[in-house]
Structure 1
Amino acid sequence: MSGYKHLTHEQRVLVEDRLNHKTSIRKIALELEKAPSTVLREIRNHSLFVPTIENDCKHKRNCNLKNVCGDALCSNKCYTCHSKCTKHCDCYEKALCPKLETSPYVCNGCKKINGLCTYDKTVYYAIDAQKKYKSLLTSTRSGFDISEQELEKINTLASPLIINGLSPYHIKQTYADEITISEATLRRMIDKNALDAKNIDLRDKVKRKPRKHSEISPLSTAKVGHFYGDYLKYIEENDVCVTEMDCVEGKKGENVALLTLTIPSLSLQLAFIMEYQNSSCVVEALDMIETALGTELFSQVFPLILTDNGSEFSDIKGMETSCITGSKRTSIFFCEPNRSDEKGSCENHHKMIRYIIPKGASLEPYVQADISLMMNHINSYKRKALFGKSAFDLATAVLPMDFFILLGLEIIPPNEIILRPSLLK
């Protein structure tokens, strides 16, 4: 049987069609590769109830009562007044269709469904079923696990500042003790209109296109638990340093490539030369770094790695597993397809590599010592975006000194930095 518990819209269309042709629940389930109980539950939960406008009293055929409602001007028998007598008659008993008491418990396929039936109807329509399913799915995932008092407090503190142009990050830093939810949750509350501040009050929100959510391909089952949505949930629940991983290609057609590791919070980028741009060389490069640093320091600096969907990053277990202890050394997550902006810091830092090794230039003449020299110059470069600091200035204030010593990282004096191809010539 299929491992997916939820029915798709196409499957619901098939259910409606088979019900209209009086196919049994068991045969429908067999065709969908689902359990019969799943199909039956789908029909019961998502069918549409259509009340009758006719008189549905079970005694109407033998009823001769008049003026039950007290209208002296009416001379008709009460059962001809459609449903009026049901409100006044003590003898009224609702008539139920006996067919609805047996499988499949809906009126699909009944010849009398189009106007000849006087019973309440229960009909399964695929379109309505899909709408009910989506509505329920949304409502069960849109709540926030906070009290009304907490929500009011967050609204009072955050909304005026957001309307004044301040970011949720700034607000979270300012009121870290009062606002106990994460920045991501605060943004979701704004997006769900739970606060007075709206998306239009956020500077960047209105400029971004909505993210496209694609269906998970059966070919991507190995990445279940490692998708971008899982990454967002993980960083919301865990306060960890994020590293972005990517590859830089050289001349078209050659095998050599660079594996880059970027720590966005420090603007620090490392690069390691690989003989081939494939999964085994990526694992080999990570193993080399772990061997140099030790498992404990490796896991401390690189607890979470975000990368793209390239085939060179397909060996998830190899990348996550320590080559020394066999335990888990890091957590690997993937961006959504064609969304390089989700690891934008890594992409932006590649521009500085291209200052020294232009795009299309061969990487074959270089060894790791050349690449390390290049990255030392890049990481020693003082940048306006870092308020006159270099990446090394930030990193040395946070990371253990062993990290720099064991990887052979050196600070280049400001007046000796070269960001031209001549550096490696």
Structure 2
Amino acid sequence: MHPRLTPWMSALALGALLLGGNARAEEAVDSGPRLSWSAFGTIGLTQSDQSFTYQRFIKDHATTERDSVLGVQLDAQFSPEWSATVQLRLGPSEDHDARWSLRPSWAFVAWRPNNDWLLRLGRMRVPFFLRSEQLDVGQTYDEARLPTEFYSLAPTSDFSGLNLSRSLWLADGELSIDGYVGQTTLAKRSWQREALPSPVPGQPPLVSAGAQFRRADVDGVGGVLTWRTADTTLRAGLHRLTVGLSDGSSLLVRPVWAPLGPGLGYWQTSNQLPGPGVQEARHFREWLYAAGVDHRFDARWRVVAELMRLRQSGTVLAVDAWAAAATVSRQWGAFTPYVSVAAAHSSADGTAVARALDSTRLPDALPGAPLLNGSMRSAADHTLVFRQTSLALGSSWALDARSKLKLEWMHTQAQQSQLIDVPAGEPLARPRHVNVLSLSYSFVY
């Protein structure tokens, strides 16, 4: 069997098992915990009108890899105060474009001494954004996918650690105060347009062309305020993230101009290359500020809007950007059409550095030029710059209370974007347009 079909056969088999049995199973034992399980999933089909790959999987032929996911969750209630939750997620692997993986996305123990306090310990999803907890559960929102320009910028929203919540029940609604501290290890993907040649003739390249994955350790601490009424949810949060490569290697802080002769020079990106030397760091820090509102004007009209600022200190290669997203929807019976806009724009500093690295080129006849030119292009490929805007028009169709069918057209304009796998030989900074058509089926049971 083709290796790409194997996870799909497993997913379909598990889905058939879930659909063929009870939609929700619960077992009560007088002397033991009360157990319940649920399941969710999305089968999604996407296709673009461009030959380059967008958002890691979207291409000019139909693919199911971008949006498809399957999850199962087991909840155990040991007593009125103590409970535990485990959620398994089957989806594309974090560290390989052609593999799928089954991993726990939630695995925590919870203690609720009363209705006002909740303490959780283990692996959980931090509510960075309005709909972070719903990210994998497509049935809970009408869009084909939550805005990528917004939800993909944070390094991660899953942490292993401690979360403390305090709920204040006021006359008009509920105010929740969340504080957390945690750590996670993840694989970050980047796209290398061309191989970085070895300085020794005949030897393999230092870095191969194509998708590159590096593991990073992230330590996070932050707080979130959430206000909920019958019609409105408001959320604001502040988060401090410390990031370092898992293998202990250092990160470039900023390229340095290295003159090589009259009228010649290049941007030095490593102390292994000739030049005055560059500063490196083992870790860098990011500050994430986010705010959002979800408001229903009546039973039919709904507006969801979010704004984020991600600031970095320590390396110019990391994300330093503004991002915003908004969706307006209107329900007509079982149909909910919507229009959604999203944008991500990196700071001028990061954008200028990426363009300088990408546009500087030494004459090919100069000794060592292939390596030096390749080092600049490689560093430009790994500089996390986003300057793009998307417009999406679509509709969901609620087949019943537990499943939705969705159809969406999305148009993206990008001047430069890490979400695009730029073909070899093409510059990073170039106006690019892509249209994406998505069809998906989402369910919860």
- Greater per-residue helix proportion: 1
> Structures share a fold, TM > 0.5?
no
TM-score normalised per structure 2: 0.23
- Greater per-residue strand proportion: 2
Mark the structure with the bigger radius of gyration: 1
- Higher RCO (CA 8 Å, separation ≥ 6 residues): 2
